[in-house]
Structure 1
Amino acid sequence: MGAILDGNRLVLGTCYYPEHWSKELWREDLQRMLDAGIEVVRIAEFAWSKVEPTEGNFTYSFFDEFLDLAEEAGMKVIFCTPTATPPAWLTEKYPEVLNADINGTLYRHGARRHYNYNSPVYQELSKRITEKFASHYAKRPCIIGWQLDNEINCEMNVFYSESDSKAFRVFLKEKYETLDALNEAWGTAFWNQTYTDWEEIHVPRKTYSDSTNPHEVLDYTRFISDSARRFAKMQSDIIRKYLKPGDFVTTNGLFGNLDNHQMTKESLDFITYDSYPNFAYCLDAYSDEPGELKDRKWSRNLAEVRSISPVFGIMEQQSGANGWNTRMEAPTPRPGQMTLWTMQSIAHGADYVSYFRWRTCTMGTEIYWHGILDYSSRDNRRIGEVKDIHGKLAAMKEMAGSIYEAKVGIVKDYDNIWDAQLDVWHGRVENASQKALFKTLQLSHTPFDYVYLKDTTDADELKKYQVLFYPHATIITKEREAVLRAYVEAGGTLVVGCRSGYKNMSGRCVMDNLPGLLSDLTGTDIPEYSFIAPDAGKVTVKWGDTEFEASIFADLLEPAGEGKLEASYTSDYYAGSGALVCNTAGKGKAYYYGSAFNEESARIFLEKLNVISPYGDVIHAPEGCEIAVRAKGDDRYLFVLNYDKNPVEVELLQKGTDLYTGQEVSGKVELEGYQTLVVKL
């Protein structure tokens, strides 16, 4: 791990595909990379056939030849297992390895990620190729780490093969042990779905209404995550037998229907992310409403990565235009945007940044997914920008290992994420609140973390946050309530939004007074609730002297126990009913807000809870700039990122050192379009 995340410097890399290029280019490419400041290449994630061209026939000379050159040049290598693209001989001989759509139609060879994790044949062949790769190549001095597969659950995160149904039954037997327990959890008495034999259970299948048992779908999503995690762990366990001291295991991306936190804990040393902010500029995205955050929205994804690995790497960082021949048409990054997006990643915790890709491919589906070099491979503006970035990172090396600083957290858990995917009532409020909170925090220059509640979460992990928002804790357990209670009693402030506490872990609605297990902690009772009707007009909430609009849903609240009514609805038939209850528990407070968050209400909560703009005494900046701070001991490193193509003015209220130049900086500073500033305070 020390080769790229050693806490002493920031490192650049790139993705390279020796199999795409003439061997005569390899030496020159490696030297040009080194000259540009790139010292790590990732290889082999789609190259199964280069080692096993036919079944059981193994040859290692191709990558040995490349690794010889890498060692000669002094280039470090991240080697990958090639299981994201099984070869044609495999899928032709063993069609059972293929994934299928919900109708059972197989996805055929010709793209990628067309396999399923649960095929016994694919598991065995994947074990064998991983063993062959690791046993032969892991000892090479140039190899510093391994990537498992590629972008696990990317593009395809649902699986409907016969192997998946068989494995799903095993998963359910282990979880429920008896059909009676499963039938109870899934509520199969509804619509006569009761199961009398395990063989009657399948992964979700096509129904005339596209509606299936929601409790089954929730367990199915957990099953997908479990399958992907087991596939990753199988590979990790094999590779670790051959690792040299200091080498690492990782994988790239952050995709759905997968508990990335648990996968990292089980199988990885840290997770890496693939950051493509240029997706915001794809042609089909130009219809976004004015003022949308565009590429700045990738800070939300980076915050998710940071919740897993506070210091992490970027395995694929945007370097050129992105697009396939079948979809995604996007412009080339403008001058300065490569630097902006690199610094966006670093601001959020990345100490390693690897650009996708070195050369733009001249063949295949990704011929428009440009890299640092274009087809001609001549020097261009982008390679010049990489060289400039390398100089900046060398000057910034002291901040390596520092941690993103935030006093506000947004609580999440996978059960509620997955429930919001399958439940439109839950999803409507969840999606709106998450978007509003993120945008408001960004525009108000209020750094935040995502905080995941897991079975192992301890209240001590939460205590560093002054305020925690848990927008819609629809599914709640006694264990999670206890962790939240301990946080509040220790002095924290918890804000829970509407539609909380009304489901158990099976996704079944509880028959308790709402908000169920959260009633006592929040001091709240909910005798009535409703979507805000389309003809209701503007439904408003009055909190002290402040009045603002409610959004989407209205829980009509009454205080319970020691709870105190803080705000009420002021319009429609909700007028006079409670909209916000506050309860004191120990040294802290728990709030229950009866609606979803919009930008207006999110800002008011931040203001009233005194956590908005925590660096307002350090810097004044327009909304178009992102402000982030990384901390290391007593040192603070302030990032200012201008996402606007036009110049902006910021004002530093404290003296600091511009890490790019080493010069003292204070007062008013003009940033050009897409320009960044990193200041040691």
Structure 2
Amino acid sequence: MAKSIQMDELTLGVCYYPEHWPEELWEDDFHRMQEMNISVIRMAEFAWAMLEPEEGVFDFSFFTRVMDLAHQYGLKVILGTPTATPPAWLTHKYPEVLNAHQNGELIKHGMRRHYNYSSPKYRELCEIIVRNMVSAYKDHPAVIGWQIDNEFNCEKNVFYAEADHAAFRVWLRQKYETLDNLNKAWGTVFWSQTYTAWEQLHLSQTESPNPHLALDEKRFISDNVISFAKLQADIIRELAPQHWVTTNGLFGHLDSHELTDELLDFFSYDSYPQFSTIFPGNDENSLKDRGWSMSLSKVRSISPNFCVMEQQSGPGGWVDRIEMGSPRPGQIRLWSYQSVLHGTDLLVYFRWRTATMGTEIYWHGINDYHNRPNRRVREVAQVGGEFAKIGALIAGTKYQAEVAIMQDYDNLWDGEMDKWHGPLQWQSKGSWYKQLQYRHIPADLLTLRSNTTLEDLSKYKVIVYPHAAIMTDETAELLTRYVEQGGKLFFGARTGYKNPTGQCYMRPFPGPVAELCGITVEDFTLIKGTIQPAELNWEGRVPSGTKAVAFNEVLNVQNSEAEVVAHYASEYYKGEPALTRRTVGKGEVWYYGAAYSEPVVDAILDELSIATPIADWLEVPAAVELGIRSSEDASYAFLLNYSDQPAALQVKRATKELLTGATIENEVEMPAYGVIILEL
């Protein structure tokens, strides 16, 4: 069962760095936090040099003083283990702890994440600082929990130090046992890559490595991070079993589900919706900051109720990159409730006051450098007041969805290198999520794992698993049972042609699910450059000019039960099947020989007659996100307006609005960036 944070009420916190400020500011800071209903502070995750200024010399008095004062003001404390930023004395004395570029050049001290997880010396030194730190603070009455390290694999998610190559060899020997097994799994007969000694093995040394090695490399990195985190989690469990343990993600090449299952009490996330607005791309209809709900949905698949350890509270920017405009009035509150809607019960803003020195001097917090009141302070105070009012009702309730977009780590990692299926995942996932959002159909982002059961899948009426190139017969059997019991399952191009090593099956596409779908793939082409996507003919149900984007597969119907829903209407495969549907048991399986686009998703949703859960009593414009959090006793509909314009709602029955306590009905105007929570 997924692990969730256990909170009695919605709780507000803030990241606080007392080492950056004169001590005479602390008391005023804590007093103002108290007035704003901020009751938790996170600190110390970057403070190793203060805690151990010289090797073996420890000083825990500074943060003891901070926590003593915080406790007087009723503040609880989350402590971060400081292993994300080793001190200069450490990297100078022990350069073997440093990470390296792919060419072997060491990454020098001065940033963060410049260490490697594999170095025995670094692990030893991390165990020492964590053990001493936990021993020093385990009995302090303010401490409630620990964050391990900070943002594993952020900034760097590949590692090429000598210690990493050595650790990779150990991992490979444990996985394959013999070189013969490894050579078969990696297909090393190709290009005379056969290994005859374990010492010949390295992490990828070229920009275009053996693809099977590259897939295993990502699996190794994930296992290595989890192993590194376990050293710290075990110490905290041993010395401070009364405290919870978490860490903050999501970042590449890390199985955050396994990390949480093995080590954590719940998962945490850092939510910065404005990241999605600074790279506009070519999408004229982008979800922008609303699209951050998709990331929050992935977090929810790890921990249905979770902590946002860093919530954006101002414009972001390092001195050398990432320039953002200031959040508009109302957006900080909007983004806060976006996190709450998707499962956050403990929300911690980054940060209390904007740093006046260092790399992050343009990464703004609630307070500006001048430390005087501003609109961000007032907005956060409003959220604090609202949490105090509704927090006990919302905490512990769960997000409700009957549609899931499914993914898995192997295909995500394999797709980083494989350009024939990797980009398709982002296209299809984005198109489905966007159109579900605009139609106010809540959706989960589900991760398929080795321990996923039919019960896990059966809670969803519809599952979209668009481009699972890596597919096993066991997964195909599970998905078949899901369809047979009544589920509707959607596949896309490039499904089922690889095994778990990344080698291609010698069987007709889509491999393990060909029989389930009742089709095979007769021909195919990548859509790129001068090769144009074919248009679709869906008996008038798809608008004229709709194209099958990114990849085109020509389908061959093998089972008379498989119905052709759409044909290609152009290119040399004009008239050939593009989209099929087959009834299996009580359910349906669809196969689309392309990447999903928004018009195609819209047409499918029309065909399925999937409606928003509030259709009978509420009309909401597309600019407003809808989601529902429920318990056995109550349900609450969240309405979030991401537009800079007011939105008109039609409320067909009298309903209580939770934040104001007012009863609303008929036409209601929702302000720009407004938030409404309705009691169902």
> What is the TM-score normalised by the length of structure 2?
0.96
Do 1:522 and 1:563's aligned partners in 2 also have CA atoms closer than 8 Å? no
Partner residue of 1:309?
303
Partner residue of 1:219?
216
Do 1:359 and 1:375's aligned partners in 2 also have CA atoms closer than 8 Å? yes
Partner residue of 1:594?
593
Do 2:554 and 2:573's aligned partners in 1 also have CA atoms closer than 8 Å? yes
Q: Does 1:566 align with 2:560?
A: no
Counterpart amino acid of 1:50?
Answer: M
Q: Could you give the per-residue CA deviations for residues 59-89 of structure 1, whole angstroms, max 9, x where no partner exists?
A: 2111111111122221100011000000000
Q: Does 1:228 align with 2:228?
A: no
Partner residue of 1:337?
331
Cα displacement (A) at 1:165? 0.3
* Higher deviation after alignment, 584-593 or 368-377: 584-593
- SS of the residue corresponding to residue 248 of structure 2 reads coil
What is the aligned counterpart of 2:248 among 248, 252, 277? 252
Do 1:525 and 1:560's aligned partners in 2 also have CA atoms closer than 8 Å? yes
Map 1:470-509 onto structure 2 (within 5 A): 470-509=465-504
- SS of the residue corresponding to residue 172 of structure 1 reads helix
* Higher deviation after alignment, 426-435 or 82-91: 426-435
* Higher deviation after alignment, 256-265 or 63-72: 63-72
In structure 2, the CA distance between the partners of 1:96 and 1:535, relative to structure 1 (3 Å rule), is closer
* Higher deviation after alignment, 628-637 or 121-130: 628-637
Do 1:565 and 1:578's aligned partners in 2 also have CA atoms closer than 8 Å? no
Partner residue of 1:639?
638
- SS of the residue corresponding to residue 102 of structure 1 reads coil
In 1, Cα distance between equivalents of 2:420 and 2:95: 39
* Higher deviation after alignment, 134-143 or 76-85: 134-143
- SS of the residue corresponding to residue 41 of structure 2 reads strand
Partner residue of 2:319?
325
Do 1:408 and 1:611's aligned partners in 2 also have CA atoms closer than 8 Å? no
Counterpart amino acid of 2:50?
Answer: K
Cα displacement (A) at 1:376? 1.1
Counterpart amino acid of 1:673?
Answer: A
Counterpart amino acid of 2:328?
Answer: R
What is the aligned counterpart of 2:443 among 445, 448, 453? 448
Do 2:534 and 2:552's aligned partners in 1 also have CA atoms closer than 8 Å? no
Q: Does 1:514 align with 2:509?
A: yes
Do 2:425 and 2:466's aligned partners in 1 also have CA atoms closer than 8 Å? yes
In 2, Cα distance between equivalents of 1:415 and 1:119: 26
Do 2:152 and 2:251's aligned partners in 1 also have CA atoms closer than 8 Å? yes
In 2, Cα distance between equivalents of 1:654 and 1:564: 43
Cα displacement (A) at 1:306? 0.6
Map 1:167-246 onto structure 2 (within 5 A): 167-206=167-206, 210-245=207-242
Partner residue of 2:362?
368
- SS of the residue corresponding to residue 495 of structure 1 reads strand
Counterpart amino acid of 1:264?
Answer: T
Q: Could you give the per-residue CA deviations for residues 196-240 of structure 1, whole angstroms, max 9, x where no partner exists?
A: 11111111113xxx3111111000011111111111111111101
Counterpart amino acid of 1:499?
Answer: R
* Count of residues in Structure 1 that have an aligned counterpart in Structure 2: 672
In 1, Cα distance between equivalents of 2:13 and 2:377: 13
Cα displacement (A) at 1:288? 5.4
Counterpart amino acid of 1:657?
Answer: K
Partner residue of 1:111?
111
Q: Does 1:402 align with 2:397?
A: yes
In 1, Cα distance between equivalents of 2:668 and 2:199: 69
Q: Does 1:389 align with 2:383?
A: yes
Q: Does 1:542 align with 2:542?
A: no
* Higher deviation after alignment, 182-191 or 573-582: 573-582
Do 1:563 and 1:581's aligned partners in 2 also have CA atoms closer than 8 Å? no
Q: Percent identity?
A: 48
Counterpart amino acid of 2:261?
Answer: K
Map 1:1-40 onto structure 2 (within 5 A): 5-40=5-40
Do 1:84 and 1:149's aligned partners in 2 also have CA atoms closer than 8 Å? yes
Cα displacement (A) at 1:562? 5.1
Partner residue of 1:669?
668
Q: Does 1:429 align with 2:424?
A: yes
> What is the TM-score normalised by the length of structure 1?
0.96
Cα displacement (A) at 1:286? 5.4
Cα displacement (A) at 1:394? 2.2
Counterpart amino acid of 1:17?
Answer: Y
In structure 2, the CA distance between the partners of 1:286 and 1:466, relative to structure 1 (3 Å rule), is closer
Partner residue of 2:524?
529
In 2, Cα distance between equivalents of 1:198 and 1:533: 40
Map 1:647-658 onto structure 2 (within 5 A): 647-658=646-657
Do 1:139 and 1:242's aligned partners in 2 also have CA atoms closer than 8 Å? no
Counterpart amino acid of 1:370?
Answer: H
Partner residue of 1:298?
292
Do 1:624 and 1:644's aligned partners in 2 also have CA atoms closer than 8 Å? yes
Cα displacement (A) at 1:561? 3.6
Counterpart amino acid of 2:647?
Answer: V
Do 1:139 and 1:244's aligned partners in 2 also have CA atoms closer than 8 Å? no
Q: Could you give the per-residue CA deviations for residues 300-336 of structure 1, whole angstroms, max 9, x where no partner exists?
A: 1111111111111110001111111111111221110
* Higher deviation after alignment, 175-184 or 386-395: 386-395
Cα displacement (A) at 1:560? 2.4
Counterpart amino acid of 1:337?
Answer: Q
In 2, Cα distance between equivalents of 1:286 and 1:550: 23
Counterpart amino acid of 1:66?
Answer: V
In 2, Cα distance between equivalents of 1:351 and 1:562: 50
In 2, Cα distance between equivalents of 1:513 and 1:121: 50
Do 2:222 and 2:254's aligned partners in 1 also have CA atoms closer than 8 Å? yes
In structure 2, the CA distance between the partners of 1:400 and 1:376, relative to structure 1 (3 Å rule), is same
* Higher deviation after alignment, 197-206 or 561-570: 561-570
Do 1:536 and 1:572's aligned partners in 2 also have CA atoms closer than 8 Å? no
What is the aligned counterpart of 2:554 among 553, 556, 570? 556
- SS of the residue corresponding to residue 270 of structure 2 reads strand
In 2, Cα distance between equivalents of 1:489 and 1:93: 62
In 2, Cα distance between equivalents of 1:76 and 1:315: 14
Cα displacement (A) at 1:543? 3.5
Counterpart amino acid of 1:392?
Answer: E
In 1, Cα distance between equivalents of 2:611 and 2:205: 47
Partner residue of 2:264?
268
- SS of the residue corresponding to residue 180 of structure 1 reads helix
- SS of the residue corresponding to residue 239 of structure 2 reads coil
Q: Could you give the per-residue CA deviations for residues 82-101 of structure 1, whole angstroms, max 9, x where no partner exists?
A: 00000000000000100011
In structure 2, the CA distance between the partners of 1:533 and 1:77, relative to structure 1 (3 Å rule), is closer
- SS of the residue corresponding to residue 572 of structure 2 reads helix
In structure 2, the CA distance between the partners of 1:537 and 1:221, relative to structure 1 (3 Å rule), is closer
In structure 2, the CA distance between the partners of 1:472 and 1:678, relative to structure 1 (3 Å rule), is same
- SS of the residue corresponding to residue 249 of structure 2 reads coil
- SS of the residue corresponding to residue 468 of structure 1 reads strand
Do 2:624 and 2:641's aligned partners in 1 also have CA atoms closer than 8 Å? yes
Cα displacement (A) at 1:159? 0.5
Do 2:399 and 2:629's aligned partners in 1 also have CA atoms closer than 8 Å? yes
